[in-house]
Amino acid sequence: MASPAPRPAADEVRPPAGPPAPVGTRARWSTVPLVVRHLVLAAGALAAVLLLIAATDTVNTMRIAAVGYSVLAIAGLQVLIGASGQVSLGHGAFMFIGAYTVALLVIRLPMLPLWVNLLITVAVSAAAGVVVGGATARLHGPYLAGATLALAVGLPSLAVRFPELLGGGNGLAFTTRGAPPALAATVSTAQWQAAAVWFTVLLALTVLATVSRGRLGRRMRAVRDDPLAAAAAGIPVGRTKVAAFVLSACCGGLAGACQGYLLGTATPSSFTLALSLSLLAALVFGGMGSLWGALWGGAALVYLEVWAEDAAHALSLGTSVTNNLPIVLFGLILIVVVLLRPDGVHGAVRDAAGAVRRAR
Amino acid sequence: MPPDPVDHLLSVHGVSVRFGGLAALDDVRIDVPAGTVAGLIGPNGAGKTTLFNVVSGLLRPDSGRIEWKGRTLRRHRPHDLAGLGIARTFQGLNLFGGLPVLDNVMVGAERFARGGAVSMLTGLGAHGRDERLMRDRAMAVLEEFGIAGTARSLPGTLPFGLQKRVALARAVVAEPELLLLDEPAAGISADDIGALAELIGRLGERMGVLLVEHHVDLVMQVCERITVLDFGRVICAGPPEAVRADPGVAEAYLGTGEEAADDA
């Protein structure tokens, strides 16, 4: 990994980089447990999202909710690829599992509340993650990518194979509840659903961020960089890789569940190979090195499509152009970003933030 | 089988490893008593690394056994070593390139962490205490090694000599009872070898050390007992003076006796 950082001389005197002396609020903040810090940040983010959906119309509220579950799916992929170094080309398969789990639960067991459905989805996705991750833990690079690719291609066809249970090519349609009656007068169904999605997403992101910045994240990176040396330090290599896979599968499943809950449908055509590849492309676009990359990636995934469609309509282009413009635009922007900033949008954002901090 | 003195940390008993028809190790015996620095030398291809891999659990011997503190190790795997109290360095650096120096060394301190899967997933319970403990131990070793100033650097940005030190710190931070060093002097300048010898000598007071090394002067200087391998067999074992005087060693390891005299 080539780094442009200046090479410090061997005898350069620098202050020891230990835990800083506790002075000021910043230092006190750093003594608060990681998970509490992340929960506070998540609460702030939820407040911001709630303000946003209160201020905008129904169409944009649905888009903001779509950004939410996209961010979660991409963030799961970031932990898998960025932290643990395993490439998955088939993460749409876990979204498929999540969406169909919620659909089946709503149709077959309508008495269950949403949060129970989501918890069951997490359990089902985790089980799928254990099976797939356990089977692929010994595979590297292109072989792992190939195996996960097969998953993305194969799994959605299950819906067609079992039409009685999974609804065939048309998938499953169901209705989800909106806001509770007490709030129904002030909160629209879309607003309630978007809030529920973002609440779920931010809670899951809190877990991901805590894992990523804590012991397990360090173990994953150690296994990614040098499995032999990680094993010598007592880290079980295989189990750490499976843990990353399961975590990532849970995020994918939960994201799929949120999508199903929002749209009220689960169809095989929503979970094509193109979706899996888009998630990966969005991660590269946002930046693979940080969970923040998922935010930019998720926003780009939803809004580039919207803007491309708007542009196509404004220019009154034909339908064949309109249908393909989002993909072309996304591809072009991805190429530009990778050429200019291999560390993605977040790399640029981080540099800009650093420049601002130094200037003050 | 003669009873071993109990103070042997590691005993390798009659270990043989064959790769196809080639005997990489043939009936090798090595003992590492507690609190000593034992050396293992031999020309390229003598089987030093193979022996290291057998002790590490990467390779199963075809015959013979490994005893750790009087207990035979069966089916141990590389990630069991740390828990047993054995740490190792590698011939390459094998540092975690994407992790800062401090985190590299913290990984070495993983055996002191008490929290299980739940604490790692939620960041609750023992997680905060584990992280503090590992960070403090890592910082202490970095300070002892005089490289505390590099804690936040990525290893790839450091000069080679410092990277070597980070790799050693990552092994030592585990406070192992036995430290396996695989060619620690490789690629290090002549000036730094004196400092390395002093460091290894100091470590030898705290833990048993098994040193595999090409650099004969270093081995002669720091080891109390040296085993010489050639073509997978032990051809000589004893204190440095005895090994130095052994004509078979000079011939196998250093070429002819005259060349050896020139080298020394």
B171 contact residues in A (CB cutoff 8 A): 232
In a domain, A338, yes or no: no
State the pLDDT at residue B253: 65
The answer to the question of residue A238 being in a domain is yes
Rounded CA gap, A273 and B241, in Å? 69
CB B33 within 8 A of CB B208: yes
For residues B258 and B48, the answer to whether their CB atoms sit within 8 Å is no
> B63 phi and psi, to 5 degrees?
-150, 170
Instruction: Provide block-wise average pLDDT over 10 residues at a time, chain A (360 residues).
Output: 41 44 69 89 96 93 96 96 91 95 94 93 96 87 87 89 88 85 84 95 96 95 95 93 96 97 92 90 92 94 88 82 81 87 90 88
pLDDT at B209: 94
In a domain, A225, yes or no: yes
Q: Choose the closest CB to B149 out of A16, A218, A232.
A: A16
Average pLDDT, chain B: 87
Report the gap between the CA of A288 and the closest CA in chain B (Å).
13
B149 and A17 within 8 Å at the Cβ level: the answer is yes
Assigned domain for A156 exists: yes
Kind and range of the H or E element at B177? none
Task: Give per-residue pLDDT as tens, B146-203.
Answer: 999 999 999 999 999 899 999 999 999 999 999 999 988 888 888 888 888 999 999 9
* Residue A329 domain-assigned (yes or no): no
Enclosing domain of residue A114: 35-176+186-271
- CB-CB under 8 Å, B97 with A1: yes
**pTM for the full predicted model:** 0.87
Q: Residues B116-128: what's their mean pLDDT? A: 90
Q: In 3D, which of A251, A333, A318 has the Cα closest to residue A69?
A: A251
Least confident among A269-283, B20-34, B94-108, B243-257? B243-257
Q: Would residue A257 count as lying in a domain?
A: yes
Domains and CATH numbers, chain B: 1-85+176-258 (3.40.50.300), 95-173 (no CATH)
> Which one-letter amino acid corresponds to residue A246?
V
Chain B residues whose CB is inside 8 A of the A243 CB are 117
The pLDDT, as a whole number, for residue B260 is 42
At residue B228, the 3 state secondary structure works out as: strand
Question: B96 and A225 in contact by Cβ < 8 A?
Answer: yes
Q: Under DSSP, is residue B66 helix (H, G, I), strand (E, B) or coil?
A: strand
pLDDT band at B254 (very low <50, low <70, confident <90, very high): low
A46 vs B71: which has the higher pLDDT? A46
**pLDDT score, position A316:** 81
A359 within some domain: no
Vertex A226: Cα angle to A224 and A229 (nearest 5): 135
Q: How many domains does chain A have?
A: 1
For residue range B15-41, list pLDDT tens digits in order: 999 888 888 899 999 999 888 899 998
**Alpha-helix residue ranges (DSSP H) falling in A78-140:** 92-108, 114-136
The closest alpha carbon to A183, from A62, A43, A54, A46, belongs to: A54
Q: What is the pLDDT of residue A8?
A: 40
The answer to whether B9 touches B207, Cβ cutoff 8 Å, is no
Q: Assess B140–A contact: CB distance below 8 Å, yes or no.
A: no
How many Å apart are CA A66 and CA A300, to the nearest integer? 11
Partner-chain contact B98 A225, CB within 8 Å: yes
CB contact under 8 A, A214 and B123: yes
CA-based nearest residue in chain B for residue A216: B120
Q: What is the 3-state secondary structure (H, E, C) of A255-293?
A: HHHHHHHHHCEECHHHHCHHHHHHHHHHHHHHCCCCCHH
Of the candidates B231, B211, B230, the one whose C-alpha atom is nearest the C-alpha of residue B19 is B231
Are A204 and A251 contacting, i.e. CB atoms less than 8 angstroms apart? Answer: yes
The partner residues of B40 in beta bridges, in order of sequence, read B212, B227
**Whether the Cβ atoms of residue B79 and residue A223 lie closer than 8 Å to each other:** no
Exposure on the CB side of residue B45, measured as CA atoms within 13 A: 5
Q: Is residue A8, in this structure, part of any structural domain at all? A: no
CB-CB neighbours of B258 under 10 Å? 10
Q: Is the confidence at residue B1, as pLDDT, over 50? A: no
* Rg of chain A taking only CA atoms, in angstroms: 22
Angle between helices A114-136 and A237-263 (to 10 degrees): 140
Q: Which residue in the block uniquely carries the two structure tokens 């220019």?
A: A315
Strands A172-173, A265-266: pairing is antiparallel
Q: Which residues contact A191 (CB under 8 A, 6 or more apart)?
A: A53, A54, A61, A179
What pLDDT, on the 0 to 100 scale, is given for residue A225?
Answer: 96
Q: At a CB cut-off of 8 Å and minimum separation 6, what does A332 contact?
A: none
- So what's the pLDDT on residue B191? 82
SS3 A3: coil
DSSP-assigned letters across all residues of A174-223: -----S-TTTTTTS-HHHHHHHHHHHHHHHHHHHHHHHHHSHHHHHHHHH
How confident is the model at residue A195, as a pLDDT?
95
Residue A12, pLDDT score: 40
